[in-house]
Amino acid sequence: MALDREQKEEAEVLLMGNEAIARGALEAGVRVAAGYPGTPSSEIIETLSRSSETGKLYVEWSTNEKVAMEVAAAASFAGLRSLCVMKQNGVNVASDFLLHLTGSGTRGGMVLVACDDPGALSSANEGESRHFARLMEIPLIEPADFQEAKEMTRWAFDLSEQIRNIVMVRSVTRMSHASGNVVLGTLPALEGKAEFLCDGPLSDPERGPVVSAPVMAKHRLQQEKLRKAIALFEKSPFNAYSGPEKPELLIITSSACTLYSREAVSRLHAEERAGILKLGTTWPLPPMLLKRHLRKTQKVLIVEEVLPFLEDHVKILAAEQAREIGIKTFYGKNDGALPTVGELNPDLVADAVGRILGIDPPAIPAEYGEKLRRLTEFLPKRDQTFCPGCPHRASYWGIREALQRDHRGGFVCGDIGCYAMATLSQAAGFHTAKTLHAMGSGTGIASGFGKLGPFGMTQPVLAVCGDSTFYHAAIPALINAIHQRADMTFIVLDNGGTAMTGFQSHPGLDVNAMGEAAPMVDIAAICGAMGVPVTIEDPFDLIGTRETLNRLLEEPGVKILILKQSCALSPEKKGKKRFLMRVDDTLCRGEACGCNRLCTRIFRCPGLLWNRERKRAEIDEVICAGCGFCAGICPAGAIRSEEAAKP
Amino acid sequence: MQQQRRDPTEKGDGRRGQNELEEQVLRAGLCTGCGACVNICPYQAIHHDRTVTLHACDLAQGRCYACCPQTPADLSDLRRKLYGKTDCTPELGPMKGFFIARAADEGLRQGAQHGGTVTTLVTLALREGLIDAAVLAGEGEGLLPRSVTITDAKVAAKMGKSRFVVSPTVAEFNRVCRGDAAKIGVVATPCQAVALAKMRTQPVSEVESGIEKLHLVVGLFCGWALSWQKLAALLKAKTDLAQVTGMDIPPSRYHTLEVYTRGETIRVSLDEVTPCVREACHSCDDMTAEFSDLSVGSARLPEGWETARSWNQVIVRTQRGMDLLELARRRGVLEFREPPAENLQKLKAAALGKKKAAASRSKYLNSTANVEETDGFGS
């Protein structure tokens, strides 16, 4: 979907949720957008970067989410509308700044879009950014369909300017990554000069310095802003009820769960018995609106994902209004009607609604069930693994060999990126990585492990981090390790981009988010400046990598190894094979002693196949990336590589 | 008489795989570092002087287990197959002759350990085309020998020093036998010679083995080998490892490991050295490399150590070994002297001592009884 400025107004187009959010920001006249890539949020900045125009809209991939929020805040302080975008744990990273920003307030409309990942489909956590809205005392709004994703984002800028504070728009994976029809609105002319007015007194929100002090006064002011938001929320069209006048069951929900709730009610044919109050403004809740709807019934089911955020706040309001609305029976998380982990879906909601109303959910027809069973038998069991030609597979192969040779029980502290899979899967990383937490944490944890020698720890400690992760959060931990003389080996898996999320740019590249030339900030030079010698190896050179690593593992202190090889999906490599690979049948030892299928049983690049009939390995020419690495691991020299002809 | 190397109550036919190798040998600390399981598949490797498992192989049977000198084997059967009706002494194994010899070339003796007999024999075998490649332990770094293959007789002359840390010689053989060499000679410690013997008598697997290229095994008398890591740690405290030019063990009354550096000779008490001995060596019952064509070790002579240290004792076990020794005599590259009457008895007593110690599997070797006629490795 191209969302360029020529797109016709009033046109109805199919947009991904994230594209709708980006369009909403464009329709609001956003001038600065910054973010850090992270699924499911990345397409918002990507969409905006394609719409960027010199002097009209500035878009950047920042080094991390905190910096992104600071960059966007500066634009707001200078009177421009700005947007910052991140996934749920990015809000954790930005939260220190956010706490102060909410105290100082904003000027130009400023919106934080946080995309949560219930069920952790592509995350190492299912943390929720919703709770930050309450913690930071800022308004939270959540779209429930694609049109709303656009409209609410656009409106969030107005709201921000009305209350002079940042507004949080929260999406979830199923909102951000699903697509739906959206009627486009008008794109404004982008005008307005950036100027930071700062010559006024501290108390002047228009011309004073932007600070969170005096804290009490600013905090009080912030809470007044929130009350103003409540008043606006009471009348918001994003909160809507559908259902009977006096439903037996009131479902209160928001976001993608609105769709699940509608489907569940429809599937149970309970439209006459259950009503749905869909909330778009989820913090702070508008009390009068809630009172009106809670009065309708005795039974209330709150449908939301993961923890009871909405449920808790509805219950507080219900308790406060009990004399007027009566005592309610609540269903949701605390009574176990819905799970407190993972995503919801129409089945789970239908089960909950069915149990409350005494309706058996319609059974799956036997014939359908049988078809399903037969079809799923054919589904191959797929490994969670790296792509064919992925340099991480080669890196971990070298690391694994070096650690096994070293023989002291060494292990890798993992970090965030594709290479995090080494904690989960034999096929991705051969079980070398043993810890996995936040971005940069592998390095910090290794720094800590590296000080446990005096307590008897003899295991060598390694930390891996990707190039983008290096800039994001590994640098302070690395500085710590060096200064504290921790014994650890720090490995940068430099694949030349923020690969996992779709190859976004980062400070190590010579191009920025808008495709402009940008100075490269060199990782080796940074490490060298910290006073630690840096070794650079190509992970496709297995022997060089392994020997270097074995040497480094025996040295004390912090050792730094950069394993540099571009991602197989990088623009310069994608679709281009360096080598044409083939297996020489006469040499392949197959399952015999002497090999036992090393390439397809242990190495397991998806480009290698095991032919059960012929009992020989084969190359899947369709997906083989032609990296050539497997030729070096074959003990019989049966995997042959031939330099591919230059196109 | 059936003679089992390991516990005879061991179940099964002795053919197992990597799992059992890990359990019975590697994790049990019984690996000799000979390298027999290395370079036949991608799963085992040698790092420094230690055999490691890189990845798990789930085959129930494997050559790694079958050829390991530390897994159960019927040694009498092995002896029958390889040595026929040769006279066999209980202490020293098959024996066709016992000699005291040394290199005729004094310069060669200077560069080698003791009499330089092994160096002379390997050089001769290469020069005469009896073998076209020799696998032996060469100079490495920081006390760690490196297994090398040489095809040039002139190079062999530079490799004659004893090594006190094991080198993965059989791994190097496994590599070389897949290459161009047609007739390979190996200078082997007792454990390496057992591995090669097991390889020669194993049923040929469906994968190429190359063992038929093995044309000569020159065995080395061996009391024990040291763990590289422990030895390095011990000597690091006493000298700069880069300065070490060689080592030797004089007769047992000195109770000393002599370490020769560029500046001086450092004498290390065997009380300090014995804790560095590889665990596997404590249960080894073969002092004289019984599964070789001929075995060579240091000599003891009535004139005393200063004279004896420039001679070797040689046990010839096969006709091929005898032919080589006689060729060396004819070509004048080895010189001989009559073995003193008591030497063979002393050697037998020492070898028996090692067998007894192995049978009792004492934690540390009884240094006075067991190293009487041996050094570490080498000629």
Task: Give the residue among A127, A135, A138 at the shortest CA–CA distance from A104.
Answer: A138
Q: Is residue A3 part of a domain?
A: no
pLDDT band at B262 (very low <50, low <70, confident <90, very high): confident
Residues A405, A511 within the same domain: yes
Is B42 in the A-facing interface, judged by CB distances under 8 Å? yes
Chain A interface residues (partner B, CB cutoff 8 A): 400-401, 404-407, 430, 550, 589, 591-596, 598, 601-602, 633, 635
Is B144 in the A-facing interface, judged by CB distances under 8 Å? no
Residues of B in contact with A401 (CB under 8 A): 45, 54
Task: Give the residue among B207, B356, B210, B208 at the shortest CA–CA distance from B285.
Answer: B356
Check CB contact under 8 Å for A405 and B40.
no
User: Residue A302 sits in a domain of what CATH number?
Assistant: 3.40.50.920
User: Residue A186 sits in a domain of what CATH number?
Assistant: 3.40.50.970
Q: What is the pLDDT of residue A428?
A: 86
Check CB contact under 8 Å for B42 and A598.
yes
Residue B252 has pLDDT above 50, yes or no: yes
Residues A552, A596 within the same domain: no
Q: Is residue B146 part of a domain?
A: yes
Q: Are A308 and A334 in contact (CB under 8 A)?
A: yes
User: Which residue, A172, A205, A234, sits at the end of a domain?
Assistant: A234
For B288-329, write each residue's pLDDT tens digit: 999 999 999 999 899 988 899 899 999 999 999 999 999 999
Q: What is the pLDDT of residue A4?
A: 54
Residues A402, A253 within the same domain: no
Q: What stretches of A378-474 show up as alpha helix (H) in DSSP?
A: 391-406, 441-449, 467-469
Q: Is residue B288 part of a domain?
A: yes
Residue B376 has pLDDT above 70, yes or no: no
Q: Is residue B245 part of a domain?
A: no
Residues of B in contact with A593 (CB under 8 A): 17, 40-41, 59, 61-64, 205, 207
Residues A41, A189 within the same domain: yes
Is the CA virtual torsion A86, A88, A91, A93 positive or negative?
Answer: negative
Is B63 in the A-facing interface, judged by CB distances under 8 Å? yes
Residues A288, A403 within the same domain: no
User: Residue A603 sits in a domain of what CATH number?
Assistant: 3.30.70.20
Average pLDDT (B160-185) is: 90
Q: Is residue A312 part of a domain?
A: yes
For B335-344, write each residue's pLDDT tens digit: 999 999 899 9
Give a three-class secondary structure readout of A6-69: CCCCCCEEEEEHHHHHHHHHHHCCCCEEEECCCCCCHHHHHHHHHHCCCCCCEEEECCCHHHHH
User: Residue B185 sits in a domain of what CATH number?
Assistant: 3.40.640
Taking CB atoms and an 8 Å cut-off, how many pairs form between chains A and B? 56
Residues A337, A454 within the same domain: no
Q: What is the pLDDT of residue B204?
A: 56
Q: What is the pLDDT of residue B84?
A: 83
Give a three-class secondary structure readout of A88-113: HHHHHHHHHHHHHHHHHCCCCCEEEE
Residue B363 has pLDDT above 50, yes or no: no
User: Which residue, A338, A357, A376, sits at the end of a domain?
Assistant: A357
Q: What is the pLDDT of residue A41?
A: 97
Residues A329, A198 within the same domain: no
Residues A209, A265 within the same domain: no
Residue A451 identity (one-letter amino acid): K
Q: Are A551 and A524 in contact (CB under 8 A)?
A: no
Q: Nearest residue of A to residue B48 by CA position?
A: A405
pLDDT band at B245 (very low <50, low <70, confident <90, very high): confident
Residues A555, A585 within the same domain: no
Q: Is residue A570 part of a domain?
A: no
B165 strand-pairing partners:
B226
User: Which residue, A215, A234, A253, sits at the end of a domain?
Assistant: A234
Distance from CA of B150 to the nearest CA of A (A): 23
Chain-wide mean pLDDT for chain B?
86
Cis peptide before A247 (omega within 30 of 0): no
Q: Is residue A469 part of a domain?
A: yes
Burial A437-465 (b: 16+ CB within 10 A, else e): bbbbbbbbbbbbbbbeeeeeeeebbbbbb
Burial B28-63 (b: 16+ CB within 10 A, else e): eebbbbbbbbbbbbbbbbbbbbbbbbbbebebebbb
pLDDT band at B207 (very low <50, low <70, confident <90, very high): low
For B126-171, write each residue's pLDDT tens digit: 999 999 999 998 877 778 888 999 999 888 777 777 778 889 999 9
Residue A319 tokens, joined: 């308790």
Is B40 in the A-facing interface, judged by CB distances under 8 Å? yes
Average pLDDT (B176-184) is: 94
Q: What is the pLDDT of residue A631?
A: 97
Check CB contact under 8 Å for B207 and A589.
yes
Q: Alpha carbon B121 to chain centroid distance?
A: 15
Q: Is residue B286 part of a domain?
A: yes
Provide the ipTM.
Answer: 0.87
Q: Alpha carbon B296 to chain centroid distance?
A: 10
Q: Nearest residue of A to residue B209 by CA position?
A: A594
Residue B223 has pLDDT above 80, yes or no: yes
pLDDT band at B242 (very low <50, low <70, confident <90, very high): confident
Residues of A in contact with B62 (CB under 8 A): 593
Residues A111, A197 within the same domain: yes
Q: What stretches of A270-365 show up as alpha helix (H) in DSSP?
A: 287-294, 309-320, 322-325, 346-357
Report the C-alpha gap between A190 and A52 in whole angstroms: 12
Total domain count for chain B?
1
- The HSE-up count of residue B79 (CA atoms within 13 Å, CB side) is 21
Q: Are A563 and A493 in contact (CB under 8 A)?
A: yes
Q: What is the pLDDT of residue B361?
A: 72
Residues A211, A254 within the same domain: no
Total domain count for chain A?
4
Q: What is the pLDDT of residue B203?
A: 66
- Best probe of the A interface among B57, B68, B178, by most A CBs < 10 A, is B57
- Best probe of the A interface among B15, B48, B54, by most A CBs < 10 A, is B54
Residues 6 or more apart whose CB falls under 8 angstroms from that of B284 comprise B32, B190, B191, B222, B224, B354, B358
Q: Is residue B247 part of a domain?
A: no
Q: What is the pLDDT of residue B161?
A: 75
Q: Is residue A572 part of a domain?
A: no
Q: Is residue A370 part of a domain?
A: no
Distance from CA of B179 to the nearest CA of A (A): 12
Residues A18, A153 within the same domain: yes
Check CB contact under 8 Å for A593 and B54.
no
Beta strands in B121-270 (DSSP E): 133-141, 144-150, 184-188, 214-220, 244-248, 256-261, 265-269
Tell me which residue range forms the domain holding A424.
391-564
Tell me which residue range forms the domain holding B339.
75-226+277-370
Low-confidence ranges of chain A (pLDDT < 50): 1-2, 5
